[in-house]
Amino acid sequence: MMNKSKETAKINFKKARSHVDKIISMIEEDKYCIDIMQQNLAVIGLLRSANSMIMEGHLRGCFTDAFNAKSVDKHDEMIDEILKVTKLYNK
């Protein structure tokens, strides 16, 4: 994965972790449900964004390198990996 994508994704994961800790505290403190849900949606947004960055880095790096290798088996393997991850993302 490319460095910039990796670093930005890492920042989003750290922010998401911080939000999850806040959500746990909010639940323990019996905070208002809508406030908890808003924090949860923030986490979901951060995770989706991080996933997109990782995918972009993969496509621009690993995926491109594999296609330049001119191996049909490697091409098929990389396409299958992308399809598998995309299906998981869309569940």
> What are the pLDDT digits (tens) for 30-43?
999 999 999 999 99
Per-residue pLDDT of 69-82, as tens digits, reads 888 888 899 899 99
Task: Report pTM.
Answer: 0.82
pLDDT at position 20 is: 98
- Domain 3-89: CATH superfamily is Metal-sensitive repressor, helix protomer (1.20.58.1000)
Instruction: Render 38-73 in DSSP notation, one character per residue.
Output: HHHHHHHHHHHHHHHHHHHHHIIIIIHHHHHTT-HH
pLDDT at position 80 is: 93
* Domain ranges within the chain, ordered by starting residue: 3-89
Largest CA distance in the chain: 58
